[in-house]
């Protein structure tokens, strides 16, 4: 034993000592030689000399944005200890953090006051109509925060006097967007907190963020004014700008300053630079028990991406968390057919003969088609295109071939026996719902599928396996979906819609108002085939009919026993197919997922309103024998028919069960017990996700040049950083940076599975209040707009607001007196969603106090939004003397469509209109709004009733001035709306330049851990063939700043300017309404 110990000691002595610096350290802050930063969702401390870091926080929630106090004694940070992002403070030496904010909205620490007594933080708690940040301070001893006067401010920093603050007014939707030049680029602004005087730093449409006012008197910030983002400084004394860091290829991502020294993050490393010296990389090593990076068991069934059922319905097949699982329906245990954290398997499907299971796997670095036996032993690997994402895998009935689609919207066929592949066809129309809905014929010789024509209507196509030829069966005059076969090779079923037309232009907002209905049709593939469902007439049987039936049955039995009998081949006649189309049933609805069985029965999903008025989807069956449609199961989102035809596996929410195909759901349903436990090696899984993210941009992006980025080089640069990922948030940060290299909008990421944290507990009353010497005074009670039921019903005090006198105080909660010295929200902990009693009255006079029983809410934004809209509408009504309408359009999706209709038509009698699309978050292309605004008067219909005010044609329109308000928080569809308003010269644009993000995102799969990353699929160019709007936005005709000395008094300079412009354009306006002419004489009259 001693010899072994000596040998071990010698070996350790001669092994090289390797101390690798940890990467992905970010959000640094600096004070003297003390350095703090975030890593793996925790906060660490080190020195500028490098070495091992000391961990200061350790919790499953997020701890981020550490900022050292000016006196060096404390660290303020953003923590997620109570299920919510709040501001905390902790000693520079560590210890128990103290919570400073309690509001259930997301608060974020961003700085300190110069005396180190108060933390500067951002919060959207009071903003309207959207949750955009404002700035507050809170004392380190606790108490109630104080709001700074700026209407909106994302981040900022005080100067040494505490009288001036530099801040960035606009937030941003995409921090990682490289070389961004859109409307959310705004000048950094300096404000004197006392006088509210403001001035902007020099600005040239650059992305300038993270201002810090150094102790040397200069303002440091990140800017892409050098194209590549670097640290710059502005000297208030000389009014000059200097570049501090000098990187020319990849951006500086974050920094901190102390005096003349700057620490910054670049390509995963931290650097220290004195202004006059070269930057030095800091070799900091994080040595800690990083629990979230350890291999661990997860519930894979929480990440199911596909399912199937075995031919006899004895087992179910799932792809979950990147692996394939075979699960017994009743007896036995789950069987993992694959078990790999470093690869993704998905789209598994069971062959009809029960002998094979196929799926896609990227274990080679690119997706391949794997064929295995039912126990998972692999039989073949079929190489595909060497790139792309594949899905919708389906076996032929004879189990010899498979069809599937890819990210290029192509339909493939693969041969199991000789392992060859062929691309059958491609859908060349860009559309979120491009899927080709392919289906095999019973004899495995044909594939029916749909693809969209130039009119965006789906056409029915048929591919012959033997002839390797595609034929078009329908002409695109009807929307055709979900082709399928039943018991015959000569009959093809499908869904058809004759009222689909308005839905075809899917990108237009006008498509929102239409819900097409579908019917089930069939078409005969052979001109000699008899039509289905002939008219029936009950008659007495012919003589000896029973004997003849018996003979026929015996003959059929002999045929079945004869092994030489083969399946009858399809005889297809494409010509005149459209003339052989007939409806299966006269019933129509929102039908989808049509599928047939060997008995000729048809199964489909039907979306409808149930008896309670709620929308749900049911599984329906058309019984071929009875010729009737019946319901099989409710609340079904997908289903798979077993090859035997006897059972159907259905998905309802997150549950799966087996039901009888003929009888439907009932007591005999067999629930699938999902308990799929998988041990995940996170280091390998994160490598897979990183590569998948890189592939997603390569395979889904709307252009093939990556906006000039060398995508292979980008992979090589960032891949080494994956080794330093120790938490899902680290990975998301890395992927967001990766996506940002394409320099495009809508490049978003979201974290997958994260450690569980507590749920928020603080309830809100929907009020504004202020603290004075007497107590907590009520300033405003939000009641919701009367006819917006959602907001009205959620207002806790809305129903009793009329009973509360002005100047009342909030006295107690559940009988416990409110302490004005304590944070008010902290006294509502544990009340979220609870029915509580609040006492309201005059302090010291409980005789007149009133108790109200209310239910608290967790978010007041809807109430504040409705109040903001109504106040603006009433303000415009008053200031314009009723001549201007006001309509806010929150987005260009359903909310925007409904808001426009809600507010435009009741005010369409006014001669002018202000369309406020500030804070418009996009959606569709708002053709509907533009078309309404473009309406021109073409005549009248008389009204015989006094005072004979005629009806206009069109019935509603704005015949006078039109003005549109825009700002930097108008984006995507909110970019396109003012673009079209300007294009059609409808009126003036007032406000600030819009975001500049006009690309569409859809269709990119989630990562195997549930995370996601977008890859824009389509961009906009104009009638001159030039790319437009993206990375610039739409500029106003009249630029209007929201200066604090105005907004702090409740004024809205942009709205005031819009009113001014609208009224100016109405000067000299004469109503085009003509009086009714003299009654016509049309009957011949003799003199």
- Per residue in 999-1036, pLDDT (tens digit) is 999 999 999 999 999 999 999 999 999 999 999 999 99
The C-alpha atoms of residue 982 and residue 125 are separated, in whole angstroms, by: 34
The C-alpha atoms of residue 354 and residue 657 are separated, in whole angstroms, by: 20
User: What integer is the mean pLDDT of 483-508?
Assistant: 95
Q: CA of 825: how far to CAs of 150, 691, 830, 831, in Å?
A: 22, 44, 10, 10
pLDDT at 571 (0 to 100): 75
CATH architecture, domain defined by 26-273+281-286:
6 Propeller (2.120)
Selection from 615, 599, 401, 582 nearest residue 492 by Cα: 582
How many C-alpha atoms does 572 have within 13 Å on its Cβ side?
A: 23
What fold does the segment set 427-531+569-596 form as a domain?
Methylamine Dehydrogenase; Chain H (2.130.10)
pLDDT at 10 (0 to 100): 39
Is residue 271 very low, low, confident or very high in pLDDT (cuts 50, 70, 90)?
very high
User: What integer is the mean pLDDT of 108-123?
Assistant: 98
Is residue 566 very low, low, confident or very high in pLDDT (cuts 50, 70, 90)?
very low
Spatial contact of 895 and 887, defined as CB atoms under 8 Å apart: no
Q: Coil, strand, or helix at residue 23?
A: coil
End-to-end CA distance of the chain: 139
Choice between 256 and 544, residue whose per-residue pLDDT is larger: 256
Task: List, in order, residues 6 or more apart from 289 with CB less than 8 Å away.
Answer: none
Tell me: pLDDT of 19 over 80: no
Q: What angle do CA 1059, 1063, 1064 make, to 5 degrees?
A: 115
The pair of structure tokens assigned to 82 is 């109570």
pLDDT at 343 (0 to 100): 97
Q: Coil, strand, or helix at residue 945?
A: coil
Q: CA of 492: how far to CAs of 379, 448, 521, 591, 1079, in Å?
A: 33, 8, 8, 17, 62
User: What integer is the mean pLDDT of 961-973?
Assistant: 97
Is residue 546 very low, low, confident or very high in pLDDT (cuts 50, 70, 90)?
low
Do the domains 26-273+281-286 and 300-426 sit in the same CATH topology, yes or no?
yes
pLDDT at 910 (0 to 100): 97
User: How does DSSP classify residue 1027?
Assistant: B
pLDDT at 3 (0 to 100): 40
* Every domain of the chain and the residues it spans: 26-273+281-286, 300-426, 427-531+569-596, 682-749, 767-857, 862-998+1033-1064
pLDDT at 570 (0 to 100): 64
The C-alpha atoms of residue 191 and residue 156 are separated, in whole angstroms, by: 10
Cis bond upstream, residue 129 (ω within 30): yes
> Under CATH, which number does the domain 862-998+1033-1064 receive?
3.90.226.10
Q: Coil, strand, or helix at residue 13?
A: helix
| Per-state percent for the chain, helix, strand, coil, to nearest 5 | 15, 35, 50
What is the dihedral sign for C-alpha 890, 891, 894, 896? positive
Selection from 217, 212, 207, 208 nearest residue 262 by Cα: 212
How much is the pTM? 0.93
The C-alpha atoms of residue 205 and residue 183 are separated, in whole angstroms, by: 8
Q: What is the CA radius of gyration of the chain?
A: 34
User: How does DSSP classify residue 116?
Assistant: S
Backbone conformation region of residue 444, classed left if phi is above 0, alpha if psi is from -120 to 50, else beta: left
What fold does the segment set 300-426 form as a domain?
Neuraminidase (2.120.10)
The pair of structure tokens assigned to 692 is 């998948």
pLDDT at 608 (0 to 100): 92
DSSP assignment of 241-302 equals EEE----SSS-EEEEEEETTEEEEEETTEEEEEETTS--EE--EE--S--GGGS-EEEEGGG
User: What integer is the mean pLDDT of 206-212?
Assistant: 97
User: What integer is the mean pLDDT of 643-669?
Assistant: 96
Q: What angle do CA 854, 859, 861 make, to 5 degrees?
A: 115
What fold does the segment set 682-749 form as a domain?
Transcription Regulator spoIIAA (3.30.750)
State pLDDT tens for residues 823-879: 999 999 999 999 999 999 999 888 889 999 999 999 999 999 999 999 999 999 999
pLDDT at 568 (0 to 100): 58
The C-alpha atoms of residue 739 and residue 756 are separated, in whole angstroms, by: 27
Sequence-ordered alpha helix ranges (H) in 776-888: 789-794, 861-879
The C-alpha atoms of residue 451 and residue 866 are separated, in whole angstroms, by: 43
Selection from 516, 499, 494, 500 nearest residue 582 by Cα: 494
Please, which residues bridge with residue 469 across strands? 464
Sequence-ordered alpha helix ranges (H) in 940-1070: 973-983, 1044-1047, 1053-1064
- On the 0-12 / 13-18 / 19+ scale of CB atoms within 10 A, 1 is exposed
pLDDT at 557 (0 to 100): 40
The C-alpha atoms of residue 193 and residue 638 are separated, in whole angstroms, by: 59
Selection from 68, 163, 70, 67 nearest residue 114 by Cα: 70
Q: Do the bridges between strand 912-916 and strand 962-966 make them parallel or antiparallel, or are there none, so unpaired? A: parallel
Token look-up 């569809």 returns: 973
Tell me: pLDDT of 123 over 80: yes
Spatial contact of 94 and 83, defined as CB atoms under 8 Å apart: no
User: What integer is the mean pLDDT of 346-368?
Assistant: 97
Class of domain 767-857: mainly beta
Tell me: pLDDT of 558 over 50: no
pLDDT at 567 (0 to 100): 52
User: Which helix (H) or strand (E) segment is 406 a member of?
Assistant: strand 401-406
Alpha carbon 77 to its chain centroid, in Å, reads 28
pLDDT at 552 (0 to 100): 45
User: How does DSSP classify residue 825?
Assistant: G
Spatial contact of 98 and 108, defined as CB atoms under 8 Å apart: no
User: What integer is the mean pLDDT of 221-227?
Assistant: 96
Give the neighbor-by-neighbor strand order of the sheet with 98-99.
Answer: 63-68, 74-79, 86-91, 98-99
Is residue 1053 very low, low, confident or very high in pLDDT (cuts 50, 70, 90)?
very high
Choice between 901 and 171, residue whose per-residue pLDDT is larger: 901
- On the 0-12 / 13-18 / 19+ scale of CB atoms within 10 A, 42 is buried
Selection from 489, 500, 481 nearest residue 437 by Cα: 481
3-state secondary structure string across 611-675: CCCCEEEEEEEEECCCCEEEEEECCCCEEEECCCCCEEEEEECCEEEEEECCCECCCCCEECCCC
| For helices 711-718 and 682-700, angle between their N-to-C axes, nearest 10 degrees | 160
The C-alpha atoms of residue 102 and residue 762 are separated, in whole angstroms, by: 7
Selection from 355, 354, 405 nearest residue 384 by Cα: 405
Token look-up 């009071």 returns: 126
The pair of structure tokens assigned to 257 is 């300053």
State pLDDT tens for residues 295-315: 999 999 999 999 999 999 999
The C-alpha atoms of residue 691 and residue 670 are separated, in whole angstroms, by: 39
| For helices 711-718 and 728-740, angle between their N-to-C axes, nearest 10 degrees | 150
Is residue 569 very low, low, confident or very high in pLDDT (cuts 50, 70, 90)?
low
The pair of structure tokens assigned to 35 is 């350095």
In this structure, the dihedral spanned by the alpha carbons of residues 960, 963, 964 and 966, taken in order and rounded to 10 degrees, is: 180
pLDDT at 547 (0 to 100): 52
User: What integer is the mean pLDDT of 441-452?
Assistant: 97
| For helices 1053-1064 and 861-879, angle between their N-to-C axes, nearest 10 degrees | 40
Task: List, in order, residues 6 or more apart from 378 with CB less than 8 Å away.
Answer: 370, 371, 372
Q: What is the largest CA-CA distance in the chain?
A: 140
The C-alpha atoms of residue 50 and residue 675 are separated, in whole angstroms, by: 46
The C-alpha atoms of residue 241 and residue 231 are separated, in whole angstroms, by: 11
């Amino acid at each position: 034993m001693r010899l072994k110990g000596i040998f071990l000691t010698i070996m350790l002595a001669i092994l090289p000592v390797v101390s690798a610096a940890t990467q992905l350290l970010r959000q640094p802050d600096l004070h003297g030689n003390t350095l703090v930063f975030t890593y793996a969702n925790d906060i660490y401390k080190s020195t500028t000399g490098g070495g091992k870091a000391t961990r200061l926080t350790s919790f499953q929630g997020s701890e981020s944005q550490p900022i050292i106090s000016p006196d060096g004694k404390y660290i303020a940070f953003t923590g997620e200890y109570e299920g919510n992002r709040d501001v905390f403070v902790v000693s520079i030496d560590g210890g128990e953090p103290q919570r400073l904010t309690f509001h259930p909205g997301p608060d974020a620490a961003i700085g300190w006051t110069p005396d180190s007594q108060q933390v500067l933080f951002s919060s959207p708690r009071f903003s309207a109509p959207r949750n955009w940040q404002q700035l507050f301070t809170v004392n380190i001893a606790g108490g109630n925060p104080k709001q700074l006067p700026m209407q909106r401010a994302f981040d900022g920093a005080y100067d040494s006097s505490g009288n001036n603050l530099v801040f960035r007014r606009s937030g941003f939707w995409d921090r990682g967007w490289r070389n961004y030049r859109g409307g959310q680029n705004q000048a950094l602004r300096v404000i004197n907190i006392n006088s509210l005087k403001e001035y902007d730093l020099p600005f040239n449409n650059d992305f300038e963020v993270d201002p810090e006012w150094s102790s040397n008197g200069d303002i440091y910030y990140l800017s892409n004014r050098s194209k590549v983002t670097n640290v710059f400084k502005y000297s208030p004394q000389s009014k000059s700008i200097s570049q501090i860091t000098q990187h020319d290829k990849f951006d500086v991502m974050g920094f901190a300053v102390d005096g003349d020294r700057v620490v910054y993050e670049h390509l995963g490393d931290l650097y220290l630079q004195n202004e006059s010296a070269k930057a030095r990389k800091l070799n900091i090593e994080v040595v800690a028990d990083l629990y979230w990076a350890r291999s661990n068991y997860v519930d894979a069934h929480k990440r199911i991406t596909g399912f199937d059922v075995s031919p006899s319905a004895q087992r179910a097949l799932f792809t979950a968390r990147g692996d394939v699982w075979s699960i017994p329906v009743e007896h036995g245990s789950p069987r993992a057919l694959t078990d790999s954290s470093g690869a993704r398997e998905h789209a598994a499907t069971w062959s009809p003969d029960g002998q094979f299971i196929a799926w896609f796997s990227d274990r080679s670095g690119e997706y391949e088609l794997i064929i295995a036996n039912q126990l998972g032993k692999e039989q073949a690997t079929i190489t595909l295109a060497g790139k792309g994402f594949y899905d919708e895998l389906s076996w032929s009935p004879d189990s010899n071939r498979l069809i599937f689609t890819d990210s290029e919207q192509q339909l493939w066929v693969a041969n199991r026996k000789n392992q060859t592949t062929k691309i059958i066809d491609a859908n060349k129309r860009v559309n979120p719902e491009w899927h080709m809905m392919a289906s095999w014929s019973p004899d495995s010789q044909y594939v029916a599928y749909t693809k969209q024509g130039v009119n965006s209507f789906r056409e029915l196509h048929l591919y012959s396996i033997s002839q390797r030829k595609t034929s078009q069966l329908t002409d695109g005059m009807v929307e055709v979906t979900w082709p399928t076969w039943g018991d015959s090779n000569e009959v093809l079923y499908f869904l058809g819609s004759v009222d689909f037309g308005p839905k075809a232009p899917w990108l237009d907002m006008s498509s929102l108002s239409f819900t097409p209905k579908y019917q089930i049709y069939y078409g005969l593939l052979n001109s000699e085939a008899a039509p289905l469902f002939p008219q029936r007439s009950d008659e007495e049987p012919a003589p000896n009919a029973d004997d003849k039936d018996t003979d026929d049955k015996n003959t059929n039995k002999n045929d079945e026993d004869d092994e030489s009998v083969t399946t009858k081949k399809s005889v297809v006649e494409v010509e005149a197919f459209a003339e052989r189309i007939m409806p299966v049933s006269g019933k129509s609805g929102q039908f989808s997922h049509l599928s047939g069985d060997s008995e000729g029965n048809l199964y489909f999903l039907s979306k409808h309103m149930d008896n309670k008025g709620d929308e749900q989807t049911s599984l329906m069956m058309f019984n071929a024998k009875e010729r009737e449609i019946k319901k099989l199961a409710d609340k079904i989102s997908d289903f798979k028919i077993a090859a035997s035809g006897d059972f159907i596996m259905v998905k309802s929410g997150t549950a799966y069960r087996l039901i009888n195909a003929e009888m439907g759901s009932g007591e005999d349903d067999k629930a699938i017990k999902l308990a799929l436990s998988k041990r995940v090696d996170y280091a390998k899984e994160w490598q897979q996700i990183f590569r998948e993210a890189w592939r997603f941009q390569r395979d889904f992006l709307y252009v093939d040049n990556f906006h000039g980025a060398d995508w292979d080089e980008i992979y090589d640069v960032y891949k080494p950083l994956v080794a330093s990922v120790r938490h899902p948030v680290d990975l998301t940060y890395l992927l967001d940076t990766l996506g940002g290299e394409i320099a495009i909008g809508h490049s978003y990421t979201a974290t997958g599975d994260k450690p569980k944290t507590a749920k928020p507990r603080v309830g809100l009353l929907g009020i504004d209040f202020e603290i004075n010497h007497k107590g907590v005074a009520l300033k405003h009670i939000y009641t919701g707009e009367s006819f917006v039921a959602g907001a009205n019903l959620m207002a806790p005090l809305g129903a009793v607001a009329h009973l509360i006198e002005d100047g009342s105080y909030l006295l107690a909660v559940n009988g416990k007196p409110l302490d004005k010295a304590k944070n008010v929200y902290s006294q509502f902990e544990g009340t979220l969603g609870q029915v509580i009693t609040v006492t309201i009255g005059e302090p010291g006079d409980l005789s007149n106090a009133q108790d109200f029983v209310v239910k608290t809410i967790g978010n007041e934004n809807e109430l504040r939004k409705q109040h903001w809209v109504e106040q603006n509408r009433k303000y415009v009504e008053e200031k314009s003397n009723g001549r201007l309408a006001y309509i806010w359009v929150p987005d260009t999706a359903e909310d925007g469509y409904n808001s426009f209709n809600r507010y435009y038509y009741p005010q369409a009698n006014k001669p002018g209109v202000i369309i406020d699309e500030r804070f418009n978050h996009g959606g569709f292309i708002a053709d509907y709004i533009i078309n309404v605004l473009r309406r021109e008067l073409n005549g009248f219909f008389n009204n015989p009733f006094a005072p004979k005010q005629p009806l206009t044609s069109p019935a509603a329109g704005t015949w006078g001035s039109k003005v549109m308000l825009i700002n930097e928080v108008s984006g995507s569809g909110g970019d396109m709306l003012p673009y079209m308003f300007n294009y059609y010269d409808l009126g003036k644009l007032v406000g600030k330049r819009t975001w500049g993000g006009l690309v569409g995102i859809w269709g990119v799969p989630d990562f195997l851990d549930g995370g996601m990353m977008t890859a824009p699929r389509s961009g906009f160019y104009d009638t001159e063939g030039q790319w437009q709007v993206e990375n610039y936005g739409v500029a106003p005709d009249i630029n209007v700043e929201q200066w604090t000395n105005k907004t702090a008094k409740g004024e809205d300079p942009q709205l005031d300017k819009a009113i001014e412009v609208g009224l100016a354009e109405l000067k000299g306006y004469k109503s085009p309404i003509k009086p009714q002419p003299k009654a016509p004489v049309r009957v011949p009259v003799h003199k």
